[in-house]
Structure 1
Amino acid sequence: MSQSNVSASRNRTHKLTVTAMLSAVAFILMFIEFPIPALIPSFVKMDISDLPELLAAFSLGPIYGVAVTFLKNLLHIVFKGTSSAYVGELCNFLLGAVFSLAAGFIYQRKKSRKSALVGAIIGAALMAIVSVPLNYFVVYPAYVVCYGMPLEAIIGMYQAILPSADSLIKCLTIFNMPFTFCKGMLDVLLCFLIYKPLSPLLHK
């Protein structure tokens, strides 16, 4: 085997190893979540499980970020199961994929700290925007069926915080979209804080 083939094989093995490691970390982080009841109904929780996929997107490439998102949710289904007919996991995957794919793609075009920040912010914004139609047409209707909770009751939980939020689209636009963006930006902040110390592990 030529030196170039050996190098390519080692590089591929390294990427797969890091992807598996980050997926396991992301899976664990899914269990560390907490509500912010003063800002959004308590059934919507904050977590940082998108952080590993952002690390993967920057260090290995955008496709690996998507792979971490997929494996994270697959592990969640295998080990914990689903209470939403896989809708919650699908939503988590799609939003995480949008986030990591956009951030990683922009960073790959010009690798610099500035482009990484721009890519991450754009990724967080796209994730927040996509969350509105995804929740409106897929997630919340599925939750109404799976949990037997009337949509009016769900809207009422939002109205307890802001009485003028009298429709689902208002609730998602006023509460969920900014919340999702802030959630993404928390991942961005943490990524920038720990990326350099983790760089020797993420790169060969």
Structure 2
Amino acid sequence: MRKSKTEKMVVAALLASFSYLLLLVEIPVLPGFNWLKLDFSDVPILIGTFVLGPIGGIVIAFIRSTLNFVLRGGDILSLIGNITGFLASVIMLLPIYLMMKKETSNKNLVTGMTISTIALTIFMSIANYFVITPLYMYVAGMNFGMPIKEMVLYGIVPFNLFKGLAVSVVFFVTYKKLVPVIEKRMAFVKN
């Protein structure tokens, strides 16, 4: 059993490192909302969720966010952003995992990704309206040039719908390629 724990830790560390590296490649996708940047750091987290279970995925997301916080300076704005990123990753992984735990099928995978995208969009919209954006405005004196309501409606909602879709498509392709390898190498890790 010791070997499997060690293997799990190594897999989690590798996926968290890869997730952090992908976090550094940020792509602005919405004109006028340049601070909203797409990254694919959730793909290794989702892979880790299927290899190590939901707790493993959450641990990978936590390590990724902690690495990013520490290596980018560790200030209050970074803390807000990394907590938000961690919560968004958890919200993204849970519905996909739960749907696939019911039955491993393309239909359940697509349903899980759809639910994840909707949950991510709803959570981020509410969190930005009531907590995240007001915190950034208070702590850093940021002015987004529009009322929070408009920013959420025209920036946060479309961005998170697009992010959920983009991450889901990349994960779907990756998952389909890795399933045979995952099942062969990590069959003993079923949670």
User: TM-score when scaled to structure 2?
Assistant: 0.85
Deviation at 1:58, TM superposition (A): 2.6
| Matching of residue 74 in structure 1 with residue 66 in structure 2 | yes
- 1:144 maps onto 2:137 in alignment: yes
CA contact (8 A) 1:54 1:191 kept: yes
**2:22 is the counterpart of 1:29:** yes
- Which residue of the partner structure matches residue 98 of structure 2? 105
Which stretches of structure 1, 4 residues or longer, exceed 4 Å deviation after superposition? none
What does residue 50 of structure 1 align with? 42
Out of 166, 173, 178, the position equivalent to 2:158 is 178
Question: Number of matched residues?
Answer: 183
Cα-Cα RMSD: 2.0
Q: Distance in 1 between matches of 2:30 and 2:122?
A: 22
Q: 1:179 and 1:144 mapped to 2: Cα distance?
A: 20
CA displacement at 1:115 relative to structure 2: 1.2
Please, which runs of 5 or more residues in structure 1 have no aligned partner? 1-5, 157-166
When residues 116 and 12 of structure 1 are mapped into structure 2, their CA distance, relative to the original with a 3 A threshold, is farther
Q: Percent identical across equivalent pairs?
A: 27
* Match of residue 119, structure 1, among 99, 102, 112: 112
Give, in angstroms, the shift of residue 149 of structure 1: 2.2
Residue 111 to residue 201, structure 1, CA distance change in 2 (3 Å): closer
Check if 1:193 corresponds to 2:173: yes
Q: Deviations over 1:136-186 (max 9, x none)?
A: 222111211333223xxx134xxxxxxxxxx31232123211211211211
Structure 1 letter corresponding to 2:50: F
| Residue number in structure 2 paired with 1:64 | 56
> Which position in structure 2 is the counterpart of 1:164?
none
Question: Which residue pairs with 2:145 in the alignment?
Answer: 155
Q: Secondary structure of 1:32's partner?
A: coil
Structure 2: stretches of 5+ with no match in the other structure: 187-191
**Residues 110 and 13 (structure 1), Cα distance of their counterparts in 2 relative to 1, 3 Å cut:** farther
Confirm whether residue 94 of structure 1 aligns to residue 74 of structure 2: no
Say if 1:85 and 1:35 are closer, same or farther in 2 by CA, change over 3 A: closer
Which structure shows the bigger proportion of residues in helix conformation?
A: 2
Q: 1:37 to 1:184 in 2, by over 3 A?
A: closer
What letter is aligned with 1:51?
V
Q: Work out whether residues 61 and 90 of structure 2, in 8 Å CA contact, stay in contact via their aligned partners in 1.
A: yes
Q: Is the 8 A contact 1:62 1:103 kept in 2?
A: no
Measure the CA separation in 2 of the matches of 1:75 and 1:145. 25
Give the superposition deviation at 1:100. Answer: 0.7
Structure 1 residue 16: deviation in Å?
2.3
